[in-house]
Amino acid sequence: MPAPTPLASQVAPQFLRAPDSADTVSHNERDLLDLVRHHGTTTRADLGRATGLTAQSIKRLVDELVERGMLCMGETISVGRGKPAVAITLDPAFAYSVGVSITTDSMSLCLIDFAGNVLIRHDETLATTGRKALVKRIDTLLGRLVRRTGVPVERVLGVGVGTTGFFIGEGSRMNPPSALDDIALIELDVLLSEATGYPVWLDNDGSVAAIGESLYGVGRDYRDFAYYFFGHGFGGGMILDGRCYRGHHGNSGEFAGMLPALGHERAALETLRSMLVEDGHDLPTVQALIDGYDPAWPGIEHWLDRVAPGLSAVSSAVVAIADPAAIVLGGRAPADLAARLAARIVIDNVSRRGHGRPLPAVVLADAPHDPVALGAASLPFKECFFW
């Protein structure tokens, strides 16, 4: 199956490659596909109201997308006092995508269909961070997921990858923590594409997790939010009007970048792990901390005391600059830890005439499974078909 994609210059910044293809979707088609994705089931009339296009245009566009296999026409549904309308949905079997999450100590993969359903997932400890071994392992696991689901290989649009680190401003080259030295400053997407034979999209884990949350979690209630990713380090992503805002260099959401100059500590799980190890706990990796998390560990309160000022400073800056509807606490943080972090956030809000600025809701992430793998799997679809 051809891999439809818009021009890279129109949608994908330089760090997020959009593979070449002869097939594309138009702006109006992308609008319709995204609306159907968001609502799950809709009608021609609903699409017309949402887009402002004429009934004739909607009919033509929908019919063409049905003919191309992207949309399905279902049973008639009752819509008020008018005539029954035909239900329109995405065709799950049109295409598939694989998402890969690479952290400093773990790896997750999932395979989704065109409608966003997770068909299969796999999680494992990262046994090696060696470049060749890691690429080979991803290729092996990818092939295994496709075979186990029986998905036609030619229907796999591509692979999305989310990993920790920031873009250095040279194409897709990223600068990860020292634990991932062997994949630092290289074009990992190119290596994976050569190994797997699929187009590969690469992004940082904070932005990808924010995308996953926008599709599968609190994005159902909030179209504007800042996503805090607690992992080996601390970062995140920004969702504005339902879309991930990546910034010019792809590093929007690198919230911890402002903290050293302010003398604040970042809310990194690696720091918490180190503190707990000093207290005598056997926690060799961040994943071990997550798996064995105990809310009663005394060291947690000490860590919260240390990181709360920095988290509050970041939140105050986010609110002042972006004014999001919500701040979402997620990433790899256990739910109890995320809730305790949320309770420590204090946002600057000076009152005037008895009124302060409206503040965002501070909520916990709600996406199932690994939000990075889910968000990564959506990258090929979002770059090629959806907003």
At residue 88, φ and ψ (nearest 5 deg) are -120, 130
Does 103 share its domain with 50?
no
CATH number at residue 378: 3.30.420.40
Looking at the structure, tell me whether residues 132 and 191 fall in a common domain. Answer: yes
Report the C-alpha gap between 112 and 150 in whole angstroms: 12
Structure confidence at residue 148 as a pLDDT band (50, 70, 90) = very high
Query: pLDDT per residue over 332-377, tens digit each?
Result: 999 999 999 999 999 999 999 999 999 999 999 999 878 999 999 9
- Of all residues in the chain, what percent are helix, strand and coil, respectively (each to 5)? 40, 20, 35
156-163 sheet: strands from edge to edge = 118-125, 106-113, 96-102, 156-163, 200-204
Q: Residues near 218 by Cβ (< 8 Å), separated by ≥ 6?
A: 225, 326, 328, 363, 365, 366, 367
Task: From 104, 176, 98, 96, select the one nearest 138 (Cα to Cα).
Answer: 98
| Mean pLDDT over the full length of the chain | 91
Amino acid of residue 357 = R
For 94-116, write each residue's pLDDT tens digit: 999 999 999 999 999 999 999 99
Mark whether 278 and 337 lie in a shared domain: yes
- Statement to judge: residues 298 and 254 lie in one domain: yes
> Of 74, 93, 112, which residue sits at a domain end?
93
Query: What is the domain extent for residue 182?
Result: 94-210+371-384
Residue 380 falls within a domain, yes or no? Answer: yes
Same domain membership, residue 176 and residue 119: yes
Coil, strand or helix at 280: coil
Whether 80 has a pLDDT exceeding 70, the answer reads no
The answer on 272 and 360 residing in a single domain is yes
Domain count, the chain: 3
Q: How far is CA 279 from CA 231, 283, 306, in A?
A: 20, 11, 16
Same domain membership, residue 342 and residue 298:
yes
Same-domain pairing of 57 and 40:
yes
336-348 burial, b at 16+ Cβ within 10 Å, e below that, comes to ebbebbbeebebe
Shared domain check, 375 and 331: no
For residues 263 and 353, membership in a common domain is answered with yes
327 within domain boundaries:
yes
Which pLDDT does position 19 carry in this prediction? 44
In a domain? residue 21: no
Structure confidence at residue 74 (pLDDT): 87
Residues 231 and 360 in one domain: yes
The residue-averaged pLDDT of 314-327 equals 97
Task: Fill in the DSSP letter of residue 211.
Answer: H
Total-model pTM = 0.89
Local structure of residue 264 (DSSP, 8 states) = P
Whether 141 maps to a domain, the answer reads: yes
Structure confidence at residue 8 (pLDDT): 29
Give the relative orientation of helices 299-322 and 335-344 as an angle to the nearest 10 degrees: 60
List the CATH number of the domain containing 71: 1.10.10.10
Residue 136 and residue 43 in one domain: no
Is the confidence at residue 26, as pLDDT, over 90? yes
Task: With beta carbons less than 8 A apart as the criterion, state whether 297 and 351 touch.
Answer: no
pLDDT of residue 16: 55
